[in-house]
């Protein structure tokens, strides 16, 4: 960047903030571009799984950011809503056969259930102390997890459900067939149902993300930030704090349920481990804090950083464990399965020193004073 | 007028404290046989007492310091695993014929768990919680982070496979009254919990330190303004709360007989439900909530096994609708 000129007016941010903004929005743009061309850039199956996971988690984490970052609500029930969308879709696809009507009916039922549950929890516990809310949602989510594994005639229990997605997304479907009846290849990538499924995931995620950007930019979003900064003052100005909190809790729940539908269609499998488990909730929490609370763009950065860490931290730790194999106890601490230990320590340090997260620190906004 | 008279009679008999009795009376015809009702009730009381050990610390810490400690379950887990290790090391004493050595092994196991968790609590308060007093969001985040680290440490030290915890010989059998059999371990758990409750309420209600703690729960600024070093009280209460969680975890390990790394987070749900039902900051509330949850859990597990945890959730919802601050809160805020 060029040195700051004396003529710089009040309106333009100082140079470091500008560099930060460029970095953050540039990175977010690169991520979306990479996701857009992911099937062509990283053609192997595993990379596509990762790309689809990143898309869905961006939506999930951003919708969680609506709560924790913009409104200051700490909920542990986000996976519950995610799971409602997923299980609704899965049960309908299993019962009605692979068709769009099943996705519509099951997904709709899941979203409706999420909405009703969110409204109930919100009205019941958002009026008392905010910290109660964390406990109530944690209890609700764990009850849902237990129900999902016990009502095995509907949910498949611990094993989950395996079903087929709508016909369009099956790998055998050809979007464009050539003279031999095979799928046309574009830049070496077959134009088959798998590709269609990926773009279904990508565009659904993109639309939901843009919708959330619209929400936080709207006057409602400003009211939410006001509630986060000073609840009493917001109430005194005349905004109904409980109504706004409940509304955003319902909106976040609906978006999480929609993300659940997309994931259920993509994975063709629904089980407690991929939808409801507490470790997913922890993942979401880590992602939103690492990325930067209350920034939206932080969700993208958090998801990408966490996902890459999950893959590469394990390799580094394996290397370290091998190098220290003679030292007592060190190998078990550096075991690749213990990657969450180091991420947990990193998380604590981050909350101490950079509570605004990566994006928040670079943008000089978000987080709490 | 009629309703008012009934209400005052209920108040005189103990008010909301009668709820567990009412629950037990309702459960009697549902369970069908008297002997299984007694067994379930005793199991519920014992379970309630163990949960009380874990919940009282959390409730006091919250009441006094306004800190919601998600890391509390780490102390439960550490207590369970340390007690299991000590019992395994003292297997000769614990399972030998001598009753005195049996008891010594139990006391040492529970003592080691309690002492370790007290020390860990001191470290936790100093390093993890102190920098974020007064900021709920960061408190929740940082204690969740500490919980992750603690759970991973347990996995690194004790491995991922569940560990079996055989009960010492003296606590293995049952006492038989007529056609009712009561496990000795349940009686032991009940008595230990009751002793802790009595000691805690004596300290809180009859000593100068207890007076300061209660005053701090009621109005922290005022106590500070009167010149008392409330930060020292914070440490003390935090240490005691963590130690009790370790004790509860150790007892729970012997009760379950098989422990895994998730024991703490499984219990944390029940502990939260108890704290919410009972009301924050009061140990009487914690006891009431814990016994309600213990009884409810056991009755429902007998009648409709699949709904055990959900029933406690519904109980919590009902209490929140009826009394948003819990049954016996020390403070309403």
pLDDT in tens, A248-284: 999 999 999 999 999 999 988 888 888 888 888 988 9
Q: How far is CA B118 from CA A350, B53, B199, B234, in A?
A: 27, 14, 17, 13
Torsional sign, CA A36, A37, A42, A43: positive
B225 is a domain residue:
yes
Q: Tell me: the pLDDT tens digits for A1-41?
A: 344 444 444 445 555 667 878 888 888 889 898 888 888 88
Give the pLDDT score at A351.
87
Q: How far is CA A329 from CA A72, A177, A188, A314, B157, in A?
A: 40, 59, 48, 18, 8
Give the pLDDT score at B276.
85
Residues contacting A111, CB < 8 A, separation 6+:
A84, A85, A88, A254, A257, A258, A261
B3 is a domain residue:
no
The closest of B312, B298, B282 to B55, measured between CA atoms, is B282
The closest of B223, B41, B179, B67 to B130, measured between CA atoms, is B67
B6 is a domain residue:
no
Query: Distance between CA atoms of B146 and B126, rounded to whole angstroms?
Result: 13
Dihedral, CA atoms, A117, A120, A125, A127, nearest 10 degrees?
A: 130
- What percentage of residues in chain A have a pLDDT greater than 70? 88
Q: Find which of A73, A80, A119, A135 to mutate to test the B interface (most B CBs within 10 Å of its CB).
A: A135
Give the pLDDT score at B264.
85
Query: Distance between CA atoms of A14 and A33, rounded to whole angstroms?
Result: 28
The answer to whether B133 faces chain A, any CB pair under 8 Å, is no
* Set of chain B residues whose Cβ sits within 8 Å of the Cβ of A72: 137
Picking from B136, B306, B324, the nearest residue to A150 by CB comes out as B306
Do the chains contact at A128 and B273, CB–CB below 8 Å?
A: no
Picking from B273, B309, B324, the nearest residue to A146 by CB comes out as B309
Provide the domain limits for residue B194: 15-322
CATH of A20-301+359-363, one of 3.40.1360, 1.10.1740, 1.10.3470, 1.10.287: 1.10.3470
pTM given for the model = 0.82
* Set of chain B residues whose Cβ sits within 8 Å of the Cβ of A74: 136-137, 140
Give the pLDDT score at B61.
84
Give the pLDDT score at A144.
87
Answer yes or no: is pLDDT of B243 > 50.
yes
Answer yes or no: is pLDDT of B197 > 80.
yes
Give the pLDDT score at A242.
86
- What percentage of residues in chain B have a pLDDT greater than 90? 25
Give the pLDDT score at A147.
84
Give the pLDDT score at A219.
92
- Chain B nearest C-alpha distance from A339 (Å): 9
Give the pLDDT score at A14.
56
* Set of chain B residues whose Cβ sits within 8 Å of the Cβ of A129: 333
pLDDT range class, residue A176, cuts 50, 70, 90:
low
Burial degree of A108 (CB within 10 A; 0-12, 13-18, 19+): middle
* Set of chain B residues whose Cβ sits within 8 Å of the Cβ of A352: 131-132, 142
B331 is a domain residue:
no
Do the chains contact at A74 and B138, CB–CB below 8 Å?
A: no
Are B313 and B269 spatial neighbours (Cβ–Cβ below 8 Å)? Answer: no
Do the chains contact at A138 and B152, CB–CB below 8 Å?
A: no
Q: Tell me: the pLDDT tens digits for A285-310?
A: 889 988 888 888 989 999 998 888 87
The answer to whether B128 faces chain A, any CB pair under 8 Å, is yes
pLDDT range class, residue A214, cuts 50, 70, 90:
very high
Q: Tell me: the pLDDT tens digits for B265-274?
A: 888 888 988 9
Give the pLDDT score at A3.
44
* Set of chain A residues whose Cβ sits within 8 Å of the Cβ of B271: none
Q: Which residues of A touch B (CB under 8 A)?
A: 68, 72, 74, 124-125, 127-132, 134-136, 138-140, 142-143, 146-147, 150-151, 278, 282, 285, 289, 332-333, 335, 337-338, 340-341, 343-345, 347-348, 351-352, 355, 368
Q: Tell me: the pLDDT tens digits for B148-194?
A: 899 889 988 888 788 888 888 777 777 777 777 788 888 889 999 99
pLDDT range class, residue B5, cuts 50, 70, 90:
low
Give the pLDDT score at B112.
94
Do the chains contact at B68 and A134, CB–CB below 8 Å?
A: yes
* Set of chain B residues whose Cβ sits within 8 Å of the Cβ of A143: 309-310, 313
Answer yes or no: is pLDDT of A183 > 70.
no
Query: Distance between CA atoms of A210 and B177, rounded to whole angstroms?
Result: 69
Give the pLDDT score at A15.
58
Give the pLDDT score at A19.
80
B103 is a domain residue:
yes
- Chain B nearest C-alpha distance from A229 (Å): 12
Answer yes or no: is pLDDT of B309 > 80.
no
Give the pLDDT score at A304.
92
Are A249 and A67 spatial neighbours (Cβ–Cβ below 8 Å)? Answer: yes
The phi and psi torsions of B32 (rounded to 5 degrees) equal: 95, -60
Q: Which of A213-217, A329-333, B244-248 shows the lowest mean pLDDT across its residues?
A: A329-333
Q: Please state, rounded to an integer, the average pLDDT across all residues of chain A.
A: 83
Do the chains contact at B152 and A338, CB–CB below 8 Å?
A: yes
- What percentage of residues in chain A have a pLDDT greater than 90? 27
B307 is a domain residue:
yes
**A138 or A189, greater pLDDT:** A138
Supply the CATH number for residue B256's domain.
1.10.3470
Q: What is the mean pLDDT of residues A123-131?
A: 70
Give the pLDDT score at A188.
67
B4 is a domain residue:
no
Do the chains contact at A345 and B132, CB–CB below 8 Å?
A: no
**A276 or A332, greater pLDDT:** A276
Q: Which of A98-112, A211-225, A244-258, B220-234 shows the lowest mean pLDDT across its residues?
A: B220-234
Pairing of strands B163-164, B174-177: unpaired
Query: Distance between CA atoms of A110 and A192, rounded to whole angstroms?
Result: 29
Please name the residue of chain A whose CA is at the shortest distance from the CA of residue B319: A124
Local structure of residue B330 (DSSP, 8 states) = S
Do the chains contact at A143 and B128, CB–CB below 8 Å?
A: no
The answer to whether B21 faces chain A, any CB pair under 8 Å, is no
Give the pLDDT score at A310.
79
Give the pLDDT score at B60.
83
* Number of domains, chain B: 1
Q: Please state, rounded to an integer, the average pLDDT across all residues of chain B.
A: 85
Size of interface A-B (CB pairs under 8 A): 100
- Chain A nearest C-alpha distance from B138 (Å): 7
pLDDT range class, residue B249, cuts 50, 70, 90:
very high
Q: What is the mean pLDDT of residues A223-234?
A: 88
Picking from A139, A278, A352, the nearest residue to B272 by CB comes out as A139
B150 is a domain residue:
yes
């Amino acid at each position: 960047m060029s040195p700051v000129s004396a003529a710089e007016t009040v309106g333009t941010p100082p140079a470091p903030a500008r560099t930060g903004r460029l970095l953050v929005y540039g990175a977010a743009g690169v991520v979306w571009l990479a996701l857009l061309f992911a099937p062509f850039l990283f053609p192997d199956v595993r990379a596509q799984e990762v790309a689809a996971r990143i898309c869905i988690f961006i939506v999930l984490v951003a919708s969680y950011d609506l709560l924790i970052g913009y409104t200051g609500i700490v909920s542990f029930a986000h996976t519950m809503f995610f799971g409602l969308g997923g299980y609704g879709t899965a049960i309908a696809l299993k019962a009605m056969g692979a068709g769009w009507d099943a996705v519509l009916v099951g997904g709709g039922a899941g979203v409706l259930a999420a909405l009703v549950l969110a409204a109930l929890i919100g009205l019941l516990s958002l009026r008392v102390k905010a910290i109660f809310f964390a406990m109530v949602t944690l209890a609700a989510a764990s009850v849902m997890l237990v129900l999902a594994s016990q009502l095995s005639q509907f949910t498949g229990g611990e094993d989950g459900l395996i079903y087929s997605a709508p016909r369009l997304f099956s790998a055998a479907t050809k979007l464009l067939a050539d003279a031999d009846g095979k799928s046309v290849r574009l830049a070496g990538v077959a134009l088959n149902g798998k590709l269609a499924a990926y773009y279904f995931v990508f565009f659904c995620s993109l639309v939901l993300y843009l919708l959330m950007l619209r929400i936080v930019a709207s006057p409602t979003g400003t009211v939410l930030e006001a509630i986060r900064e000073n609840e009493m003052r917001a109430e005194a100005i005349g905004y109904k704090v409980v109504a706004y909190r409940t509304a955003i809790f319902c909106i976040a729940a609906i978006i999480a349920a929609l993300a659940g539908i997309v994931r259920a269609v993509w994975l063709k499998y629904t089980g407690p481990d991929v939808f409801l488990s507490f470790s997913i909730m922890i993942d979401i929490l880590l992602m939103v804090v690492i990325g930067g609370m209350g920034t939206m763009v932080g969700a993208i950065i958090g998801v990408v950083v966490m996902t890459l860490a999950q893959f590469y931290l394990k390799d580094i730790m394996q290397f370290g464990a091998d190098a220290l194999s003679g030292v007592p106890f060190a190998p078990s601490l550096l075991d690749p399965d213990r990657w969450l230990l180091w991420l947990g320590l990193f998380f604590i340090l981050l909350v101490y020193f950079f509570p605004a997260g990566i994006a928040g620190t670079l943008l000089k906004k978000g987080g709490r004073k | 007028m009629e309703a008012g008279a009934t209400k005052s009679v209920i108040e005189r008999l103990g008010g909301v404290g009668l709820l567990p009795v009412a629950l037990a009376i309702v459960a009697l015809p549902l369970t069908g046989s008297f002997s299984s009702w007694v067994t379930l009730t005793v199991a519920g009381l014992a379970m309630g007492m163990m949960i009380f050990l874990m919940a009282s610390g959390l409730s006091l810490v919250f009441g006094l310091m306004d800190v919601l400690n998600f890391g509390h379950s780490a102390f439960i887990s550490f207590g369970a695993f340390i007690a299991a290790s000590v019992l395994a090391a003292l297997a000769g004493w614990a399972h030998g014929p001598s009753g005195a050595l049996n008891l010594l092994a139990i006391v040492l196991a529970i003592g080691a768990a309690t002492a370790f968790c007290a020390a860990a609590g001191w470290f936790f308060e100093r390093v993890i919680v102190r920098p974020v007093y007064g900021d709920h969001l960061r408190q929740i985040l940082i204690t969740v982070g500490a919980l992750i680290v603690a759970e991973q440490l347990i996995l690194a030290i004790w491995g991922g496979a569940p560990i079996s915890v055989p009960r010492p010989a003296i606590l293995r059998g049952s006492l038989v009254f007529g056609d009712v059999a009561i496990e000795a371990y349940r009686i032991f758990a009940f008595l230990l919990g009751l002793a802790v409750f009595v000691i805690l309420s004596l300290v809180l209600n009859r000593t100068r330190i207890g007076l300061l703690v209660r005053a701090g729960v009621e109005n922290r600024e005022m106590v500070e303004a009167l010149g008392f070093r409330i930060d020292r009280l914070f440490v003390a209460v935090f240490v005691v709360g963590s130690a009790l969680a370790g004790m509860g975890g150790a007892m729970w390990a012997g009760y379950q007989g098989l422990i895994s790394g998730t024991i703490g987070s499984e219990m944390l749900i029940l502990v939260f439900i108890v704290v919410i039902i009972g009301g924050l900051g009061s140990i009487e509330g914690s006891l009431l909530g814990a016994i309600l949850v213990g009884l409810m859990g056991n009755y429902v597990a007998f009648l409709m096994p699949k709904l055990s945890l959900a029933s406690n959730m519904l109980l919590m919802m009902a209490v929140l609708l009826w009394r948003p601050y819990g049954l016996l809160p020390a403070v309403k805020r």
